[in-house]
Amino acid sequence: MYGIHGLEIVTLLALLEYSILGVMVGRARSKYGVEAPATTGNPDFERYFRVHMNTLESLIVFIPGLWIFSMSVSYHFGVALGLLFVIARIIYASGYLSAPARRAPGAIATALINAILVLGSLIGLAINAL
């Protein structure tokens, strides 16, 4: 996993995870009778929808942060953080789908990982520029 394609594999895992969450939204839409384009109407469906959308919001920061960090700071540490991100999103989704209050551990882990990637990238680029 940490070989020459580790970064690419982690990126694809994150995208696969996001895609699976999208399929879960479609299934929940059918199960709970929420017809498109509605995104509200059933609290259970809304949790699936929010997990999917919140993951998209996190991916916008994660993917460029992951790549910049891995290229400018530490490839192996970047890949490890990427794997932790995928795990954190599973924890987030599992918690949120069972009870919204249980989303906090996954959300906090996601935010910390993204913060490390972005701030680490900024610091790494600044140091490399000197």
Cα–Cα nearest to 124, from 89, 25, 50, 116: 116
pTM for the whole thing? 0.94
- What average pLDDT does this structure show over 19-47? 96
Helical ranges in the chain per DSSP H? 6-31, 43-72, 75-98, 104-129
Are the C-beta atoms of 109 and 84 separated by less than 8 Å?
A: yes
For the chain, domains (ranges, CATH) are 6-129 (1.20.120.550)
Report the alpha-carbon distance of residue 107 to residue 13 in Å, rounded. 18
Q: Given this model, what pLDDT does residue 3 score?
A: 58
Instruction: Provide the sign of the torsion angle of the four alpha carbons 9, 12, 18, 19, taken in this order.
Output: negative
The rounded mean pLDDT for the chain is 96
State both tokens at 114: 């993204």
